[in-house]
A and B are shown apart, each in its own frame.
Chain A
Amino acid sequence: MSLIRKTAAELGSMIAAGEVSAVEVAEAHLDRMAEVEPKVQAFLHVDREVTLEQARAVDARLRAGEKLGPLAGVPIAHKDIFTTRDMPTTAASKILEGWRPPYDATVTARLREAGLVILGKTNLDEFAMGSSTENSAYHPTHNPWDLTKVPGGSSGGSSAAVAAYEAPLSTGTDTGGSIRQPAAVTGIVGMKPTYGGSSRYGLIAFASSLDTPGPFARNVLDAALLHEAFSGYDPMDSTSIDAPVPSVVEAAKNPDVAGMRIGVVKEFAGEGYQAGVLARYHEAVQLLESLGAKVVEVSCPSFTTALPAYYLIAPSECSSNLARFDAMRYGLRVGDDGTRSAEEVMALTRAAGFGPEVKRRIMLGTYALSSGYYDAYYGQAQKVRTVIAREFEAAYQQVDVLVSPTTPTTAFPIGERADDPMAMYLADLCTIPSNLAGNAAMSVPCGLADEDGLPVGLQIMAPVLADDRCYRVGAAVEQALESRWGGSLLSKAPQL
């Protein structure tokens, strides 16, 4: 089997054993990228030499006897919203075109410490605002299952890169579903850790109280290995949690759900859900039951108000977070011809540098925070957030994890929802509650929808700092389904 089809865990073992070098592994993936990128367009920035230099450095560290983690030498695709010293960082926005950060994000630094080799920076919806990666200011990314479909978003470059075997692993950020939804629609594993479980330092902020870095992989164990490699307390991020990382790798290696109590969220089914999605979802729930889990239905009525609350809180924070893009210190500068004031240059730059969805959210947020509207909008949304968190808590009194479909539909055609923001926002209907509550949540593949043959994801939600439960349940589902399918879901994807 070629190097690009191997799991991250296998590649790590082979590199550690000296069976293959990090450079050879990197080259195999760079070659794959050269071959399929014209079709997939998962990356915004690739620099073969910078990547090979990292791989050579890892080989040298290993030769010198340095003890590195299980992913040393394994390549990774890195979402272009994390700062990187050696590659540009744009958040897929024109306003940061060509910007070279003077510092590494904590996630980037930890990838480097663990010896991961960064293949390039992946595409996303501008500033992570979107569910299809069509909002990238540079180009859309195509779903490897069907190139006319979206790869999900905002981390669509990262999901597509892994699904297209361009990288065994990738990073994402999840603010309202931006890891889980792309994972679901590309047939891979995506995990949103507990908020504060992974550092936001150097992650270009969309909505500070929601943004959470997390891993993508083709299987649950690989996702766990990456989760462990970059998570944990960071003194540079005040909101990061000073507690040990849950033992996610151990959980991924123990796919046993016997006796676990699993809650089916009543509100996430029915109208608006694609029949093929619901069919695979119900099968997955039956599967869990057959594996010895106790399944009960749980009602969380406020979850239906999560979407509007999210679309007040996230834009409010983004309207403030994106104020720093003012042409003064870095990035795009428009109209500075010596005749215009700083304010005019700021306004011209922001008008030219931000895309329509970013502007829409800045305006929504500015309005929601305005004097006289704050209580009705932002204030009310925060109350809804509290209620949702309480409903989760109450639910977790009865069950160990909650499950739902990750998305109401499979991947939709590129262009279909581009002019209909409300339809686009519905893609995150099931994922948003976990962001509002700060819980852990995962998407694992649970089959293909009958009507379009596209992947369906099962969402597994767990309480704060119980990320390991997602991995335990996810690994059990994965093991049972793969033995039924005779291989991974992704092996059924058409050849690119």
Chain B
Amino acid sequence: MTAGTIMPYDEALERFEPVLGLETHVELGTRSKMFCGCKTTFGAPPNTQVCPTCLAFPGALPVANAQAIESTIRIGLALNCSIAEWCRFARKNYFYPDMPKNYQISQYDEPLCFDGYVDVEVDGKTVRIEIERVHLEEDTGKSTHVGGATGRIHGADYSIVDYNRAGIPLVEIVTKPIPGADRLAPEVARAYVTELREIMRSLGVSDVRMEEGSLRCDVNVSLMPRGSSEWGTRTETKNVNSLRSVERAVRSEIERQAAVLAGGGTITQETRHFHEDTGTTTSGRSKEEAQDYRYFPEPDLVPIAPDPAWVAELKAALPELPSVKRKRLQAEWGLSDLDMQAMHNADAIDLVEATVAAGAPAADARKWWMGELARKSNESGTPLADLPITPEQIARVTELVASGALNDKLAREVLEGVLAGEGTPDEVVERRGLKIVNDEGELSAIIDQVLADNADAAEKVRSGKIAAAGALVGGVMRASKGKADAARARQLILEKLGVSE
């Protein structure tokens, strides 16, 4: 499969205008599956979380998970959707080995939530993304295709299926077409998925880990020539497994489609696969093979009819949503838009907030998370939140600095120790012996030794060349392994040499 030609992004945007659409699947974090009592623990040995229902044994029946329905309604409310007063599940019929019933229980023309929106900030602008629908369905099993070059089913020697994932509740969130994002389309797509992820987190309905597949995104892109108002044919790119990939997939698809269109070709309505390594997409299933899913209302389940009073209660009990919270925190912390955006991009806001809640001043909390820890996160490729250090521990470090027990340099070492698994900040201070030397006797002894070892420099200072004291302070810091309070050492040196500044 060739990568094909591409048109450079700037040129593509000069000639064409992109229209986006995003379909996002979120695996809900319910304890049991959507239609049976099986557990949903990630990473369990294959086919250990299965039963007659999720394996589609003859005679087995589904029973809807009430928690999943509640979570979906809360998601709908958080996305400003209307909630259906009455709706049904539907069967989506197609044969595939990882789908035990050979139909998926989903929703068709009666979604649980519909007509909502979410606002995202991109480049200082607010973009409103309209939500078409939010519906509930079940996940499929997971196939692994062994042998063959592509890792896909065609050309594989054989395939194995793990049904642990089959039947895990899945919420599908579909946007309306998003025109007008223009050259910011890749960033808008990314900002939208980021916002969804944070909303899910704040609702506590999913762990939304893209790398584990609990948040998956399909990206629809079409182009229309500048000046035209007729949308082009769209492609749907699947397998987009990180926020960065969402952005890259949109960009790459714009560049590819622009080249095809500019060369007089037409875009095929098809599914494409995104490749992390190259950042490009390749053709998957085309429309010629498109399925007729023969949707019909699921006769094994009764309709869902949420009591409007209950929906109102759920709405009233929604947590503060991320965008509202960001505005509040920005005001509380007195930060510029740019600083706040940087924290948002680094996924640091919740961490800073928790650190502040644990007693740290906002400025200090932000300094550590956005400085030292952001650096560690970049170096190790670990998301900030996954670093082995807690907001409480950062708060403790800022407390030790404020009390004078640590300086910034020592504090960095403490953080290093905590990250290396040496224990709590206090334990690291204890084990590494990192307390500032503020025992005057000990400091005095160190200074005496340094003065004796550097008689020339001492003499210069004594004779009035106070600038030479710097070298002596440096000697004290070295001798104390950085634990001395440099200002106090300088004071004592000058005292001992009988000079003043």
Chain A: residues with CB nearer than 8 A to chain B? Answer: 82-83, 89, 91, 96, 99, 101-103, 105, 200-205, 207-209, 235-239, 316-317, 319-320, 323-326, 328-330, 342-343, 346, 366, 369-371, 374, 378
Contact = CB atoms under 8 A, between A and B. Distances in A.
Contacts of B64: 238
Contact of A204 (B59, B63, B97, B101): B59
A271 to B, nearest CB: 34
Contacts of B474: none
Given A89-B59, A209-B299, A317-B299, 16 more contacts: A96-B58, A99-B58, A101-B52, A103-B52, A103-B57, A103-B60, A201-B59, A205-B59, A238-B61, A320-B103, A323-B102, A328-B161, A329-B57, A346-B95, A371-B294, A374-B296
A44 to B, nearest CB: 15
A330 B299 contact: no
A208 B56 CA distance: 14
A316 B294 CA distance: 9
B52 A102 contact: yes
B294 A237 contact: no
Interface string B42-58: 00000000001001111
A424 B184 CA distance: 66
A320 B93 contact: yes
Contact of A329 (B55, B59, B294, B295): B55
Nearest to A91: B58
Contact of B301 (A238, A325, A326): A238
Of A89, A99, A316, A369, which is in contact with the most chain B CB atoms at under 10 Å from its CB?
A369
A205 B161 CA distance: 25
Given A201-B60, A238-B62, A238-B64, A329 B159 contact: no
Contacts of A207: 299
B141 to A, nearest CB: 10
26 contacts: A82-B59, A83-B58, A101-B59, A102-B57, A200-B61, A201-B60, A204-B58, A205-B58, A207-B299, A235-B63, A236-B61, A237-B63, A238-B64, A239-B300, A239-B302, A316-B296, A323-B93, A323-B101, A323-B103, A324-B58, A329-B55, A342-B97, A366-B294, A369-B295, A370-B292, A374-B294
Contacts of A237: 61, 63
**Interface core residue of A239, A328, A330 (most chain B CB under 10 Å):** A328
A236 B52 CA distance: 12
B91 interface: yes
Contacts of A324: 56, 58, 100-102
A373 to B, nearest CB: 10
Interface of B is mostly: loop
Contact of A326 (B52, B63, B102, B299): B102
Contacts of B95: 323, 326, 343, 346
A236 B64 CA distance: 10
B136 to A, nearest CB: 15
Contacts of B97: 326, 328, 342
Contacts of A317: 296, 299
Interface of B: 52, 55-64, 91, 93, 95, 97, 100-103, 159, 161, 292, 294-296, 299-302
A129 B296 CA distance: 21
A239 B62 CA distance: 10
B155 to A, nearest CB: 11
A121 B267 CA distance: 58
B63 A236 contact: yes
Contact of B57 (A82, A101, A319, A323): A101
B93 A203 contact: no
A342 B159 contact: yes
A200 B61 CA distance: 8
B90 to A, nearest CB: 11
Nearest to B293: A371
B88 to A, nearest CB: 12
A142 B52 CA distance: 34
Nearest to B63: A238
B300 to A, nearest CB: 5
Contacts of A236: 61, 63
Contacts of B101: 323-324
A259 B62 CA distance: 44
B142 to A, nearest CB: 14
A235 B64 CA distance: 11
A258 B19 CA distance: 74
A374 B55 CA distance: 29
Nearest to A196: B302
Contacts of A238: 61-64, 300-302
A336 to B, nearest CB: 11
Contacts of A203: 59
A202 B56 contact: no
A101 B91 CA distance: 25
A484 B419 CA distance: 94
A369 B52 contact: no
Contacts of A239: 299-302
A316 B90 CA distance: 13
A374 B103 CA distance: 17
A316 B297 CA distance: 11
A232 B166 CA distance: 30
The 6 closest A-B pairs by CB, nearest first: A323-B102, A208-B299, A369-B294, A209-B299, A202-B59, A324-B56
A104 B57 CA distance: 12
Contacts of B301: 238-239
B231 to A, nearest CB: 23
Contact of B59 (A83, A346, A370): A83
Contacts of A91: 58
A96 to B, nearest CB: 7
Nearest to B51: A103
Contacts of B93: 319-320, 323, 369
A318 to B, nearest CB: 11
A89 B58 contact: yes
Contacts of A346: 95
A327 to B, nearest CB: 10
A342 B159 CA distance: 9
A378 B61 contact: no
A103 B57 CA distance: 10
A330 B159 CA distance: 17
A258 to B, nearest CB: 39
A359 to B, nearest CB: 16
A208 B59 CA distance: 10
A326 B300 CA distance: 20
Nearest to A328: B97
A330 B60 CA distance: 14
B114 to A, nearest CB: 21
A329 B61 contact: no
A6 to B, nearest CB: 32
A371 B58 contact: no
A369 B159 CA distance: 31
Nearest to B58: A204
B50 to A, nearest CB: 10
